[in-house]
């Protein structure tokens, strides 16, 4: 048998073995149901006992904060860059690229769960090549707060960061957005929220997006350069 033919047969056998192993792995994952777990590609970190979350790199991270038992999960593609720490009752999510910014993977970068969220702070500052970077424009990445039923929640958003509230039931919402001059900070309230009262302070070039009618007890203050996006029904229900 020619040497070239021998090499070809060997290559085919290796390929067949690889395909068989891959098929068996897929079959095992299918039967175990692991493929249905949206968090299967996340690294679990052991942080707990926090009621506040600080995300200075909010413009560069896609973060989801949900009501539930304490848990912090980081996308496997982002574990080399995301820096998670805790001081007392505050969880901090920072971002540090050794060189230029890189991909942080598909979906949320970090998923946080906690029974109660008292305060959320977001910004737009991270590290790249040993130097601070600041996002002065909106990047499309946001922090989603979902599923909390509690008395109150305080939000502090600044620079090019975005916060979206979805399916929360709050007696009082206090929010301050865009404290830094020129900040285009965005705060969005989806129709699924139930907010009894609150005060929203929209400073500089911040943006407030209201997708459904809200109780008159939810008051807002808009700076001259701030923007409000809402339907006529929403505007009729708001008080200055």
The verdict on 29 and 66 lying in the same domain is: no
Look up the CATH number of the domain holding residue 96: 2.160.20
Q: Are residues 51 and 123 located together in one domain of the fold?
A: yes
Angle at 19 between CA 17 and CA 24, to 5 degrees: 95
Q: What tokens appear for 138 in the block?
A: 């909106």
Give phi and psi for 8, each to the nearest 5. Answer: -65, -45
Where in the sequence is the domain holding 25, given as residue range(s)? 1-36
Q: In this structure, are strands 90-97 and 131-134 parallel, antiparallel, or unpaired? A: unpaired
Residue 36: what pLDDT? 52
- Co-location of 121 and 96 in the same domain: yes
Is residue 57 a contact partner of residue 94, using CB atoms and an 8 Å limit? yes
Is residue 137 domain-shared with residue 224, that is, in the same domain? yes
Question: Does the global pTM surpass 0.85?
Answer: no
- pLDDT at residue 35, rounded to an integer: 45
Q: Residue 34: its pLDDT value, please?
A: 47
Q: Which residues contact 60 (CB under 8 A, 6 or more apart)?
A: 95, 101, 104, 124, 126, 133, 135, 139, 141
| Per-residue tens of pLDDT for the chain, all 240 residues | 556 677 677 767 767 776 776 677 667 655 655 445 567 789 999 999 999 999 999 999 999 999 999 999 999 999 999 999 999 999 999 999 999 988 888 889 999 999 999 999 999 999 999 999 988 889 889 999 999 999 999 999 999 999 999 999 999 999 999 999 999 999 999 999 999 999 999 999 999 999 876 677 889 899 999 999 987 767 665 555
Same domain, 10 and 75: no
Residue 12: predicted pLDDT: 72
Q: Is the dihedral of CA 53, 59, 61, 63 positive or negative?
A: positive
Residues 146, 181: one domain?
yes
The total domain count for the chain is 2
Q: In whole angstroms, what is the distance from residue 193 CA to residue 176 CA?
A: 18
Instruction: Tell whether 25 and 72 lie within a shared domain.
Output: no
Confidence at residue 230, expressed as pLDDT on a 0 to 100 scale: 84
Verify that 52 and 29 share a domain, yes or no: no
- For residues 27 and 144, membership in a common domain is answered with no
The whole-number pLDDT of residue 153 equals 98
Same-domain status, 4 and 106: no
Distance between CA atoms of residues 81 and 105, nearest Å: 11
Same domain, 8 and 83: no
What pLDDT is attached to residue 177?
97
Q: Are residues 139 and 105 in the same domain?
A: yes
């Amino acid at each position: 048998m020619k040497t070239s033919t021998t090499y070809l047969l060997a290559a085919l056998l290796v390929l067949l073995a690889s395909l068989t192993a891959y098929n068996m792995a897929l079959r095992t994952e299918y039967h175990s149901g692991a493929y249905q777990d949206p968090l299967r590609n996340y690294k679990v970190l052991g942080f707990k006992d926090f009621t506040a979350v600080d995300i200075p790199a909010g413009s560069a991270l896609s973060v989801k904060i949900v009501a539930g038992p304490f848990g912090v999960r980081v996308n496997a593609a982002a574990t080399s860059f995301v820096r998670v720490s805790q001081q007392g009752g505050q969880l901090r999510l920072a971002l540090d690229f050794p060189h230029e910014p890189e991909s942080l993977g598909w979906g949320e970068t970090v998923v946080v769960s906690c029974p109660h969220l008292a305060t959320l702070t977001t910004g737009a500052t991270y590290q790249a090549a040993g130097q601070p970077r600041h996002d002065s424009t909106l990047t499309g990445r946001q922090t989603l707060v979902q599923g909390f039923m509690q008395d109150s929640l305080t939000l502090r958003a600044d620079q090019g960061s975005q916060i979206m509230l979805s399916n929360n039931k709050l007696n009082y919402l206090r929010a301050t957005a865009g404290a830094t001059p020129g900040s285009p900070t965005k705060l969005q309230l989806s129709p699924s929220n139930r907010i009894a009262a609150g005060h929203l302070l929209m400073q500089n070039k911040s943006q407030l997006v209201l997708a459904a009618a809200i109780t008159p007890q939810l008051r807002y203050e808009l700076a001259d350069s701030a923007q409000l996006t809402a339907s006529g029904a929403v505007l009729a229900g708001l008080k200055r």
